[in-house]
Amino acid sequence: KQEVTQIPAALSVPEGENLVLNCSFTDSAIYNLQWFRQDPGKGLTSLLLIQSSQREQTSGRLNASLDKSSGRSTLYIAASQPGDSATYLCALNSGGYQKVTFGTGTKLQVIP
């Protein structure tokens, strides 16, 4: 059974700082890994999707990496802004028919 852990559970940083969010998983037999953002009272928005064969993906100030051998993924946010404040969730797609397992999330607060 896939288990996904995200540490820290909460993070507070000053505006402009670069930061890294961590995601660990127990089963490396995955099809892909996604990072989502969740704003209070809203659904999830996909940020980046890394295929099993890829090592990293970039979108603007975001960079996500995947290391299946160590069971880890990181989400790097450069030059953080108050608008980045949200909960960030990683999700592993494994098993048949896109079985997805979510982590518990990291709540990020960027202080102006």
Partner 1 sequence: EAGVAQSPRYKIIEKRQSVAFWCNPISGHATLYWYQQILGQGPKLLIQFQNNGVVDDSQLPKDRFSAERLKGVDSTLKIQPAKLEDSAVYLCASSPPTSGRTDTQYFGPGTRLTVL
Minimum CB separation from partner 1 for residue 101, in Å?
8
Applying CB under 8 A, which of residues 44, 62, 68, 72 lies at the interface with partner 1? Answer: 44
One-letter amino acid of 85: S
Number of residues in contact with partner 1, rule: CB under 8 A? Answer: 27
Tell whether residue 83 is a contact of partner 1 (CB under 8 A): no
The interface region with partner 1, picked from 11-19, 62-70, 75-83, 87-95 by CB under 8 A, is 87-95
Question: How many whole angstroms separate alpha carbon 42 and alpha carbon 50?
Answer: 23
8 burial via Cβ count (<10 Å: 0-12, 13-18, 19+)? exposed
d(CA 19, CA 12): 10
24 binds partner 1 per the rule CB under 8 A = no
Determine if 96 is a binding residue for partner 1 (CB under 8 A).
Answer: yes
31 forms part of the interface with partner 1 (CB under 8 A) = yes
Contact assessment for residue 88 and residue 75, using Cβ atoms and an 8 Å cutoff: yes
3-state helix, strand, coil in the chain (%, to 5): 5, 60, 35
The residue within the footprint of partner 1, chosen from 51, 58, 81, 109 (CB under 8 A), is 51
Among 64, 75, 80, 105, binds partner 1 (CB under 8 A): 105
